[in-house]
Amino acid sequence: MAHIPDGGRIISIASCLSDRVAFGGVTVYSATKSALESFNRGLAREIGSRQITVNLVKPGPIDTDMNPADGPYADAAKAVLALGHCGETRDIAEAVAFLAGPGAKYITGASLVMDGGANA
Protein backbone atom coordinates (compact mmCIF):
# COMPACT_ATOMS: atom_id res chain seq x y z
CA MET A 1 0.00 0.00 0.00
CA ALA A 2 3.03 2.26 -0.28
CA HIS A 3 1.63 3.77 -3.48
CA ILE A 4 -1.51 5.05 -1.77
CA PRO A 5 -0.95 8.29 0.12
CA ASP A 6 -2.15 8.79 3.66
CA GLY A 7 -5.78 9.89 3.57
CA GLY A 8 -6.38 8.05 0.29
CA ARG A 9 -9.42 6.05 -0.74
CA ILE A 10 -9.84 2.49 -1.96
CA ILE A 11 -13.23 1.70 -3.46
CA SER A 12 -13.98 -1.71 -4.89
CA ILE A 13 -16.97 -2.83 -6.91
CA ALA A 14 -18.58 -6.17 -6.07
CA SER A 15 -22.20 -7.24 -6.58
CA CYS A 16 -25.38 -7.62 -4.59
CA LEU A 17 -25.01 -11.31 -5.47
CA SER A 18 -22.34 -11.48 -2.77
CA ASP A 19 -25.19 -11.38 -0.24
CA ARG A 20 -27.61 -13.76 -1.86
CA VAL A 21 -27.36 -16.21 -4.73
CA ALA A 22 -30.73 -15.50 -6.29
CA PHE A 23 -30.49 -18.00 -9.15
CA GLY A 24 -28.31 -20.80 -10.45
CA GLY A 25 -25.22 -20.43 -12.56
CA VAL A 26 -23.56 -17.66 -10.54
CA THR A 27 -22.05 -19.58 -7.63
CA VAL A 28 -18.39 -18.89 -8.44
CA TYR A 29 -19.14 -15.29 -9.41
CA SER A 30 -20.96 -14.76 -6.09
CA ALA A 31 -18.14 -16.37 -4.13
CA THR A 32 -15.53 -14.05 -5.63
CA LYS A 33 -17.66 -11.02 -4.79
CA SER A 34 -18.14 -12.28 -1.22
CA ALA A 35 -14.37 -12.59 -0.91
CA LEU A 36 -14.06 -8.88 -1.74
CA GLU A 37 -16.13 -8.08 1.36
CA SER A 38 -13.72 -9.87 3.70
CA PHE A 39 -10.73 -8.41 1.89
CA ASN A 40 -12.08 -4.87 2.20
CA ARG A 41 -12.93 -5.19 5.90
CA GLY A 42 -9.52 -6.63 6.69
CA LEU A 43 -7.71 -4.03 4.61
CA ALA A 44 -9.67 -1.24 6.28
CA ARG A 45 -8.28 -2.37 9.63
CA GLU A 46 -4.75 -2.84 8.30
CA ILE A 47 -4.35 0.62 6.80
CA GLY A 48 -6.87 2.66 8.76
CA SER A 49 -4.14 4.19 10.90
CA ARG A 50 -3.01 6.02 7.75
CA GLN A 51 -6.52 7.49 7.36
CA ILE A 52 -7.01 5.48 4.17
CA THR A 53 -10.60 4.36 3.78
CA VAL A 54 -11.56 1.06 2.15
CA ASN A 55 -15.13 0.57 0.99
CA LEU A 56 -17.16 -1.63 -1.30
CA VAL A 57 -20.03 -0.76 -3.63
CA LYS A 58 -22.38 -3.65 -4.43
CA PRO A 59 -24.59 -2.91 -7.43
CA GLY A 60 -27.59 -4.93 -8.44
CA PRO A 61 -29.13 -4.82 -11.90
CA ILE A 62 -27.63 -1.82 -13.68
CA ASP A 63 -28.47 -0.89 -17.27
CA THR A 64 -25.23 -1.61 -19.15
CA ASP A 65 -24.24 -3.15 -22.47
CA MET A 66 -23.67 -6.43 -20.64
CA ASN A 67 -26.96 -6.25 -18.74
CA PRO A 68 -29.37 -4.05 -20.72
CA ALA A 69 -32.54 -2.87 -18.99
CA ASP A 70 -34.49 -4.20 -21.97
CA GLY A 71 -32.46 -7.41 -22.36
CA PRO A 72 -33.56 -11.04 -22.08
CA TYR A 73 -33.29 -11.12 -18.27
CA ALA A 74 -34.69 -7.65 -17.62
CA ASP A 75 -38.25 -8.64 -16.76
CA ALA A 76 -37.10 -11.27 -14.27
CA ALA A 77 -34.69 -8.79 -12.66
CA LYS A 78 -37.26 -6.01 -12.43
CA ALA A 79 -39.77 -8.37 -10.81
CA VAL A 80 -37.59 -8.70 -7.69
CA LEU A 81 -36.62 -5.03 -7.42
CA ALA A 82 -38.46 -2.98 -4.83
CA LEU A 83 -37.99 0.07 -7.06
CA GLY A 84 -39.16 -1.85 -10.13
CA HIS A 85 -36.43 -0.71 -12.51
CA CYS A 86 -32.75 -1.19 -13.21
CA GLY A 87 -30.25 1.35 -11.99
CA GLU A 88 -28.07 3.53 -14.17
CA THR A 89 -24.30 3.63 -14.33
CA ARG A 90 -24.52 7.22 -13.09
CA ASP A 91 -26.05 5.94 -9.83
CA ILE A 92 -22.95 3.87 -9.14
CA ALA A 93 -20.58 6.62 -10.26
CA GLU A 94 -22.18 9.12 -7.89
CA ALA A 95 -21.85 6.73 -4.94
CA VAL A 96 -18.19 6.12 -5.78
CA ALA A 97 -17.61 9.87 -6.06
CA PHE A 98 -19.14 10.35 -2.62
CA LEU A 99 -16.99 7.61 -1.07
CA ALA A 100 -13.91 9.16 -2.69
CA GLY A 101 -14.69 12.61 -1.35
CA PRO A 102 -14.25 14.40 1.98
CA GLY A 103 -17.81 13.65 3.13
CA ALA A 104 -16.90 9.98 3.49
CA LYS A 105 -13.68 10.37 5.47
CA TYR A 106 -15.20 8.49 8.44
CA ILE A 107 -16.65 5.61 6.42
CA THR A 108 -14.40 2.58 6.11
CA GLY A 109 -14.85 -1.17 5.97
CA ALA A 110 -18.38 -0.60 4.72
CA SER A 111 -20.43 -2.16 1.95
CA LEU A 112 -22.96 -0.02 0.12
CA VAL A 113 -25.67 -2.16 -1.47
CA MET A 114 -27.18 -0.45 -4.51
CA ASP A 115 -29.60 -3.03 -5.82
CA GLY A 116 -32.94 -1.27 -6.14
CA GLY A 117 -34.20 -3.29 -3.19
CA ALA A 118 -33.49 -6.76 -4.62
CA ASN A 119 -32.12 -7.94 -1.29
CA ALA A 120 -34.63 -6.01 0.83
- What pLDDT was estimated at residue 117? 94
- What pLDDT was estimated at residue 111? 97
Active-site residue identified among 29, 42, 48, 97: 29
- What pLDDT was estimated at residue 66? 86
Q: Which domains does the chain have, with CATH numbers?
A: 9-114 (3.40.50.720)
Q: Which of 66, 71, 39 is CA-nearest to residue 55? A: 39
Instruction: Let me know the angle formed at the C-alpha of 75 by 67 and 66, rounded to the nearest 5 degrees.
Output: 5
pLDDT < 70 stretches in the chain? none
- What pLDDT was estimated at residue 67? 84
Distance, CA of 23 to CA of 45 (rounded, Å): 33
Amino acid at 108: T
Q: Is 58 left (phi over 0), alpha (psi -120 to 50) or beta?
A: beta
Distance, CA of 22 to CA of 116 (rounded, Å): 14
- What pLDDT was estimated at residue 17? 85
Is 73 catalytic? The answer is no
Q: Work out whether strand 111-114 and strand 9-13 pair parallel, antiparallel, or are unpaired.
A: unpaired
Instruction: Let me know the angle formed at the C-alpha of 36 by 117 and 8, rounded to the nearest 5 degrees.
Output: 100
- What pLDDT was estimated at residue 22? 74
- What pLDDT was estimated at residue 9? 98
